[in-house]
Structure 1
């Protein structure tokens, strides 16, 4: 059985690209061999500044994938757990779940025991790049795991690692690209469609946001306070954009360029409305952030946002050995210049005519204004006050 399972993992399992299938097959074959599995958790570490790990949890009722952020490493979920033990001690952990002391045992052991678990085993998976990952196994058998059961788990780890390692590498690479490039561009780069000098042109609603007073904040605050302010501001903008189906393409200092792609002409009005709602969400989120900052004795943050619609092109530029992802186009340039008007017009969110006409309930006219690089003044519209929008929505 061991040789057959390892062979399947190294051949069909490795080529399947499906971690759910691999985990289900692995656990099913162990059960066929007599290992009384009730639950298995196979955790894989990410190479990603935001995400720490992903994994697969198998039970007789089904199999599911999860992800873990770096912040969770500092919580009680990890500290004192079986995963912490095996990474820290560099050795497996075999632990009975009977007669546990609620005052001293990790919450996960108590939860497994409460659900009927009797025995627990955690062990390391070693990959070819010398990275280490972990897996845990729980049983409800009254006899627990025997030494023979644990020997079978250890003997089949090589096959399991062989099957999951390429999936982990691909998932890490894709998540890293998405972290820095956003959904659409990262997919294009992964597929090899954006090489040096190539570009992709799409119709989109463009939203450009800029943190006001950033230079003064940088001059008057410590580096820790500046990074804390940027992280809070970025969190607010990215969350609001992504909640409305937008894609954050690029961070430019304290500026953020986002798009809401227009796949068909029928999407124009919808994406203009989504951009307006995203901008509104930024203002609401920033107000909540400033309340927390006020409580911590920190100065409030303010933002300028512009929304335009048109064609944008993105791609990789640079030398043969060093590339940078960039976004270009008239729609982007105009959005950037209109954002600069937020300082003089007195409204934090401004939009062009094409956006305001597609989303009239969200904007009101605020006159014609000169924009750098354009000979004639253009009509500018400002976002309706968030409180008034909330009143409309609640009515």
Structure 2
């Protein structure tokens, strides 16, 4: 066995392994010394390095965990003895119906098999799963797939591969098998935490989700921030809803929100909510150049218009109705936090600045302009804008001067 300071020095940056932990049984290390590890990727990295340090001839290990995610059915972490850090891959929905999945060991393990072993060094062993031929070509001599059972009864998947001439010994297989209950428990804890973070991000947004996880969960708790506010809405949506089947309406909205999300997120904005056929997003004004932050909101709006025009060309090609929208931009102080009932909360922004952005979006619909900005946005942003005059706004005593960016065409131009 190889232990000691020399080996610790060779471990990847960020490893939790110490000279003392290298002497611990893997189960004890998992239970008592892996608490500071916050990801399955780091856990697999340190566990595999610990096993190797204690004489386990690992060439490769992979772990597949099913997950609840709008885009993925699971995630895979693959450790190799030739890489300092494992790779992590998201497995997209629909993989279960693919031929590669059906021809893999995964369904066999998911259906209750206790383990699958193939001694690849034996010429007579059938290579009945395509992955085995690949592993054998890479020098693998033995392959074992095992189930990881979570506390809810769901079965996940882990594999171990060696390139030792005689494969895994009976003792080594016993060690790996004995790891499974503790390893499953440890990974389940990590995955539940990651699932919570991902779902909060998906449903609340990155910053709002982080704040909720950090304890901003009391009704009425909020803070005042200054932000550029973007309010957008699909034009003619009510008529389209009456004329189109439900599935086409859902497809239209998904197209629209996908287009809007990309430039908003790339420009540092955060979508707080989808409201029917509309959305509310903010671009917090940081302590740096406020003009840059305000400009980011205007640029995101213009880029969304360009993307929408491209998507409409595709929709027209396939006989689908095009999407037109109206978008209002303003900047101001907003209350950012929790509102709602004792049992149902919404993490959002409220305040006069939000109301004005909403009114500007409505005015954009009336005037037929896809993007309208307030005078405050116009004065802060660096992009050139043109005045559209002063217009009355419902709820305000005095008319408001509004502007539109140059070079913005309709989404069907």
Shorter-chain TM-score: what band? 0.7 to 0.9
Bigger CA drift: 174-183 or 36-45?
Answer: 36-45
Residues 59/292 of structure 1: CA separation in 2 closer, same or farther (3 Å cut): same
Report the counterpart of residue 271 of structure 2 in structure 1: 248
Are 2:299 and 1:274 equivalent residues in the alignment?
Answer: no
2:338 alignment partner, SS class: strand
2:151 alignment partner, SS class: coil
| Higher RCO (CA 8 Å, separation ≥ 6 residues) | 1
2:80 to 52, 59, 84: 59
1:212 to 228, 235, 256: 235
CA contact (8 A) 1:10 1:162 kept: no
Higher helix share: 1
Report the counterpart of residue 290 of structure 1 in structure 2: 312
Report the counterpart of residue 217 of structure 2 in structure 1: 194
Are 2:333 and 1:333 equivalent residues in the alignment?
Answer: no
2:48 to 21, 24, 27: 27
Structure number with bigger Rg: 2
Residues 96/239 of structure 1: CA separation in 2 closer, same or farther (3 Å cut): farther
CA contact (8 A) 1:207 1:307 kept: yes
Alignment coverage as a number of residue pairs? 384
Question: Within 2, Cα distance between the matches of 1:362 and 1:350?
Answer: 13
What's the CA shift string for 1:47-79, capped at 9, x where partnerless?
333443334322221224443443555556645
Q: What is the TM-score with the length of structure 1 in the denominator?
A: 0.87
Q: CA RMSD, aligned part only?
A: 2.8
User: What is the CA-CA distance between 1:361 and the residue it aligns to?
Assistant: 2.4
TM alignment of 1:8-157, pairs within 5 A: 8-60=29-81, 61-64=83-86, 65-70=88-93, 72-73=95-96, 78-95=101-118, 106=130, 108-109=131-132, 111-157=134-180
- Uncovered stretches (5+) of structure 1, i.e. residues with no partner: 388-395
Residues 77/205 of structure 1: CA separation in 2 closer, same or farther (3 Å cut): farther
CA contact (8 A) 1:41 1:137 kept: yes
User: What is the CA-CA distance between 1:349 and the residue it aligns to?
Assistant: 0.8
CA contact (8 A) 2:292 2:382 kept: no
Q: What is the TM-score with the length of structure 2 in the denominator?
A: 0.84
Residues 76/368 of structure 1: CA separation in 2 closer, same or farther (3 Å cut): farther
User: What is the CA-CA distance between 1:270 and the residue it aligns to?
Assistant: 0.8
User: What is the CA-CA distance between 1:90 and the residue it aligns to?
Assistant: 4.5
CA contact (8 A) 1:14 1:162 kept: no
Bigger CA drift: 216-225 or 308-317?
Answer: 308-317
